Structure 1
């Protein structure tokens, strides 16, 4: 295997930029594989696992940029590297443009003293330092960076709390503040539903379902995925509840999280009674009794959370779409007795969780890389068994690679591989639209879907493919275009994450009864 590697000394690029650049680099003609990343120990370990780590790359420091290209047969790596480097060149602003680049937070504030928010997307080793600078300067912070020590997160959130500021993150991927969507937010209409979420795709899902039902979002405050852990203690979610309780533009508050730590859940629910506004609580695996005892409105699903929020607000609510029993029966009739398993391949962690819990709560055994039960945990390199649901956005899949919402190529090979298993009845997957996401997630996945369908057909069986597109008609690409592209390929397209889980559960029930 021919490998060409270049090191750019002291050339820092943030993780968001490099994820996008890596995606584009892998699409260059003649490139079999491209790896563009900072020379962190984690990224060098990924290269070593791929057999691409040279002594020169091993000696690079964390401030150095690594460009590694594996050319296709007949291509020249030395000719391809400059094409990758072109992607790193930042175009100067056009004449008259208001866009200005600053190298430090301090210089940005010197230019515009009205700035009140900093988005931190630097290497995790430096993220806490930059966030502290921003907080000390009186700025709210959204930290997209991950790999930040929990001790730093606690200190930063306490500092923000003491100064009346938001500290969203680390690993916070979604927010909508004063009508502006940040990072992976979706384009939704403004309204009176406020959301505080320790889940990026979970908050996206609730926001787009609120939009679909005729409501709108006042604010969406992300907390970062660890906020409701026992260590962090829900500092940001509690401050978010208080902020929305004081916001005159918010009529209803929705809380969203994967399963929280029990002691932290109790602290958060204690805030519900003091909010002075209706609070809808969607904690996957949470307790209905505990939420009701706290004076909240318990939501059993993301769709249920959105429906209750819109109904409790002043917006005119439309009826939510539900699972079509006739459509389910038609699918079940096409399956062979041997097809008993469902395989979920997700880009969004909470979307994976919601579908997985639809089966778990029905008594089915489910293997997953995000399973809480150690007996049913599997790794990224493990083969599927029985019902298997994978979150391709989990750290094990994304080490050294872009998030699948940016580059879903990591999922493509698995789609084809799962189709070879004659026990598989259905593949279930998500397609996430929004700012920062892939420009055509359905389009880039359709070749793998068609190959999976071909494999099953040649084996004399039907492979059902169920897809949910998270987005709105205001997103680019638009929701309808993505749905039509999938439906045109024979894919069953669902209306919500909740319906997706219900569909998967119906197929699993058929398998259990076989």
Structure 2
């Protein structure tokens, strides 16, 4: 094997494009490792970690672009570089019709009526860019992470003073005036407003609302830390206020990962004053406290969607759980007596949280984002007994795209899990919509087939349970995605909560209990 590399001085490409090109290079026969990127400290460190660095790369500046691959001796460097140039040109053609202003000032000069900026830059520059946009009177959606808690609070205080939204940092989802931003789905316009301190949690609720025949007025993301004590729920409070004042919003849904109790109380005090029904889905939230403040307690994301639609229609529809027991018995009957553990491989952190919350009543689940500190995985790359992984967590995305963009990490993890003969069920989410991979189902199908065959060759059966967070109008097509998974033997449930319930029921049966 040999290392081939090239440096191109003062040449810029965006990080997501380069990450995807790295992935394409690794598919070439004879290439073991590949990294195409800007020579930032992070990328140089990553090149060192995978043993494809060089003195030229180490001395390159962040304005320089580099290619470095570990490949078979027979592969010529020119073939690799030709492939890189071809991929770069394809990406350039895809975006050639878009006007891409170099600065915020030039964008405002080109389109002076703009009132919202979506910002995605490296963390150390993010707060400064967001501050500029706020000071120019723009609402901000800050996709970037690695922003300090202090900067986040200051930005949100500034926005609040100016009557602007400061969605983020690390805000992955919003739908403003029916326009999906970042990771978001094609959801019908309607009268349910959402404020979410959770990206995939917000997506799950909005797609379920759409499938139930209703739509959303505004979907305001806050970033996942908004309800921490240090931030104080500034943007959830401002988002709630804006929806209370919005004539097109009749019902409101609030979504958050576990909030700080003092912040939760502050938000609930505002819920108590509301003249509109408000559904509250705080993971780990106190049902009595929420109801005492006039809110409608939702035990999970699916429950939140049904409750919001019921309040809008003044009806009492509920999810159909009747088939779960029957399906659990069918799956459990095919699984061997030595198989008893579950592996949850998630691209959405809140969906992983929700699944673990459903499991926690009858089993301990190890994770990189555990519900209890003593269930923290010591080695995130090695599963223990029942394990649920958030592959979108920072530990898995250093120098790599989020798994909703590029599921390579999940493919590799599934192929690793197939070697464990004690595994009975694999649980997965598939997130459709803008921002996500153009075919998240297709990316996983070969590895699912391979994993199921590995178990079959050992005389075993692997149950694969999934849910699809998407709508029929998403670019990836919900119905086709569902059929393709079912055609290879995946049990596809209507929601993440139901997928977790089915998995839980299968495991109860395997361990000698009932699936009640």
TM-score normalised by L of structure 1? 0.94
In structure 1, what is the Cα distance between the partners aligned to 2:105 and 2:268? Answer: 38
> Secondary structure of the equivalent of 1:385?
coil
Pair 1:437-2:412 in alignment: no
1:370-449 residue pairs with structure 2 within 5 A? 370-378=369-377, 381-449=380-448
Q: Deviations over 1:78-98 (max 9, x none)?
A: 321242244445647999x6x
In structure 1, what is the Cα distance between the partners aligned to 2:355 and 2:94? Answer: 44
Give the Å deviation of 1:75.
2.8
Give the Å deviation of 1:19.
4.2
> Secondary structure of the equivalent of 1:330?
helix
| RMSD (CA atoms) | 2.2
Q: State the match for 1:365 in structure 2.
A: 364
Partners of 2:175 and 2:218 within 8 A in 1: yes
Partners of 1:215 and 1:310 within 8 A in 2: yes
Decide whether aligned partners of structure 1 residues 319 and 23 sit closer, same or farther in structure 2, where only a CA change above 3 A counts.
Answer: farther
In structure 2, what is the Cα distance between the partners aligned to 1:259 and 1:4? Answer: 47
Q: Which moved more, 1:205-214 or 1:318-327?
A: 318-327
In structure 1, what is the Cα distance between the partners aligned to 2:406 and 2:95? Answer: 29
Give the Å deviation of 1:73.
6.5
1:175-190 residue pairs with structure 2 within 5 A? 175-190=174-189
Partners of 2:441 and 2:485 within 8 A in 1: yes
Q: State the match for 2:77 in structure 1.
A: 77
In structure 1, what is the Cα distance between the partners aligned to 2:376 and 2:94? Answer: 49
In structure 2, what is the Cα distance between the partners aligned to 1:287 and 1:88? Answer: 51
Q: State the match for 1:66 in structure 2.
A: 66
In structure 2, what is the Cα distance between the partners aligned to 1:373 and 1:88? Answer: 45
Pair 1:492-2:507 in alignment: no
Partners of 2:310 and 2:317 within 8 A in 1: no
1:73-472 residue pairs with structure 2 within 5 A? 74-89=74-89, 91=92, 99-314=98-313, 320-322=319-321, 323-360=323-360, 362-378=361-377, 381-472=380-471
Decide whether aligned partners of structure 1 residues 150 and 11 sit closer, same or farther in structure 2, where only a CA change above 3 A counts.
Answer: farther
Give the Å deviation of 1:76.
2.6
In structure 1, what is the Cα distance between the partners aligned to 2:336 and 2:409? Answer: 29
Decide whether aligned partners of structure 1 residues 71 and 379 sit closer, same or farther in structure 2, where only a CA change above 3 A counts.
Answer: farther
Give the Å deviation of 1:69.
2.8
In structure 2, what is the Cα distance between the partners aligned to 1:271 and 1:229? Answer: 17
Decide whether aligned partners of structure 1 residues 446 and 154 sit closer, same or farther in structure 2, where only a CA change above 3 A counts.
Answer: same
Decide whether aligned partners of structure 1 residues 224 and 24 sit closer, same or farther in structure 2, where only a CA change above 3 A counts.
Answer: farther
Partners of 2:255 and 2:280 within 8 A in 1: yes
In structure 2, what is the Cα distance between the partners aligned to 1:68 and 1:251? Answer: 55
Q: Deviations over 1:361-393 (max 9, x none)?
A: x13111000014232111564311110000100
Between the two proteins, the alignment pairs up a number of residues equal to 511
Give the Å deviation of 1:165.
0.6
Q: Which moved more, 1:159-168 or 1:74-83?
A: 74-83
In structure 2, what is the Cα distance between the partners aligned to 1:72 and 1:305? Answer: 54
In structure 2, what is the Cα distance between the partners aligned to 1:505 and 1:111? Answer: 54
Give the Å deviation of 1:27.
4.6
Give the Å deviation of 1:138.
0.6
Give the Å deviation of 1:302.
0.6
Q: Which moved more, 1:118-127 or 1:45-54?
A: 45-54
Q: Deviations over 1:378-409 (max 9, x none)?
A: 15643111100001000001111111001101
Partners of 1:281 and 1:298 within 8 A in 2: yes
Partners of 2:342 and 2:387 within 8 A in 1: yes
Decide whether aligned partners of structure 1 residues 303 and 32 sit closer, same or farther in structure 2, where only a CA change above 3 A counts.
Answer: same
Give the Å deviation of 1:25.
4.5
In structure 2, what is the Cα distance between the partners aligned to 1:86 and 1:41? Answer: 26
Partners of 2:329 and 2:506 within 8 A in 1: no
> Secondary structure of the equivalent of 1:36?
strand
Partners of 1:69 and 1:77 within 8 A in 2: no
Partners of 1:341 and 1:386 within 8 A in 2: yes
In structure 2, what is the Cα distance between the partners aligned to 1:315 and 1:58? Answer: 64
Partners of 1:135 and 1:165 within 8 A in 2: yes
TM-score normalised by L of structure 2? 0.94
Q: State the match for 2:37 in structure 1.
A: 37
> Secondary structure of the equivalent of 2:2?
coil
In structure 1, what is the Cα distance between the partners aligned to 2:290 and 2:38? Answer: 44
In structure 1, what is the Cα distance between the partners aligned to 2:26 and 2:316? Answer: 44
In structure 2, what is the Cα distance between the partners aligned to 1:281 and 1:19? Answer: 38
Give the Å deviation of 1:63.
3.4
Q: State the match for 2:474 in structure 1.
A: 475
Give 5+ residue unaligned stretches, structure 1: none
In structure 2, what is the Cα distance between the partners aligned to 1:154 and 1:11? Answer: 35
In structure 2, what is the Cα distance between the partners aligned to 1:18 and 1:194? Answer: 36
